[in-house]
Amino acid sequence: MLVQAIAPRYSVRAAVTRQVPVDPDAELLTRLRRGDEHAFRTLVGRHHATMLRVARLHVRDRQAAEEVVQETWLAVVQGLERFEERSTLKTWLFRILTNRAKTRGEREARSVPFSAVILAETTGEDPAVDPDRFQGPQDRYPRHWAAPPPRWETLPDERLLSQETLREIDAAIEQLPPAQRAVIRLRDVEGWEADEVCEVLGLTSANQRVLLHRARSKVRGALERYLGDEVMAA
């Protein structure tokens, strides 16, 4: 999904084929309520790594994040019978996680709360695209592209989707500021819907769009630099 988001050819295809999502954990919920241990292990395998990344946004270090995740799993087991299914199981799970992570972060007096990180990344002077790629006020078409994004259409799928290219994309994501990194991972790697990301991370719709746009633009720029002459020749 990430390549679909940052490469125009795939963005159009994704928009055309996108369907209304269903809760992927619905069948697991039924089994969990029957006490199925294998279903619980499946749920942990499906969400544990993402839970760690989200918890890490709010607490001081990885050990604290791991403790928050373990506390969340215990709360899920204990509260499963009270879950009224007004949201997806995943949304309920991550709501518990973020509430506990925020409480833990406040108790530890984390130096920079995630809310401040969001504010800095959505209002700061951090252009998504290098300003030098646009024409200046003295040019014939001010603020239009001077160096437009290269076209991807002639690059083979095998090149764009190779493991080497995907590793480069992942490395670029890791270099992003925290809020941008969280949003692009949830939206384009995990495949979450915008409203799910807003609810879990405590974002407004506008902030979510800004963070995602900046993150995608930076990752696309890194991919352009990596592909180099291949993109320019295409």
In angstroms, the CA 203 to CA 194 distance is 10
Q: What is the pLDDT of residue 163?
A: 73
Residue 100 belongs to what H/E stretch?
helix 89-107
Higher-confidence position of 179 and 13: 179
Using 50, 70 and 90 to split pLDDT, how confident is the model at 54? Answer: very high
Higher-confidence position of 120 and 15: 120
Q: Based on the domain organization, do 163 and 86 belong to the same domain?
A: no
Look at residue 206 and tell me if it is in a domain.
yes
Q: Based on the domain organization, do 163 and 128 belong to the same domain?
A: yes
Q: Based on the domain organization, do 118 and 102 belong to the same domain?
A: no
Q: Based on the domain organization, do 49 and 121 belong to the same domain?
A: no
Q: Based on the domain organization, do 124 and 179 belong to the same domain?
A: yes
Q: CA distances (Å), 230 to each of 160, 166, 216, 223, 225, in order?
A: 11, 16, 20, 11, 10
In angstroms, the CA 187 to CA 193 distance is 6
In angstroms, the CA 171 to CA 29 distance is 35
pTM of the full structure: 0.70
Using 50, 70 and 90 to split pLDDT, how confident is the model at 137? Answer: low
Q: Based on the domain organization, do 53 and 91 belong to the same domain?
A: yes
Look at residue 4 and tell me if it is in a domain.
no
Look at residue 22 and tell me if it is in a domain.
yes
In angstroms, the CA 166 to CA 160 distance is 8
Q: Is the dihedral of CA 203, 84, 28, 20 positive or negative?
A: negative
Q: Are 129 and 221 in contact (CB under 8 A)?
A: yes
Q: Based on the domain organization, do 121 and 211 belong to the same domain?
A: yes
What's the CATH code of the domain at 86? 1.10.1740.10
Q: What is the pLDDT of residues 121-136, one digit of tens each?
A: 888 666 555 555 455 5
Amino acid at 51: M
Amino acid at 78: Q
Domain that holds residue 193: 114-233
What's the CATH code of the domain at 167? 1.10.10.10
Residue 172 CB coordination number (10 Å) = 21
Mean pLDDT computed over every residue of the chain: 79
Look at residue 207 and tell me if it is in a domain.
yes
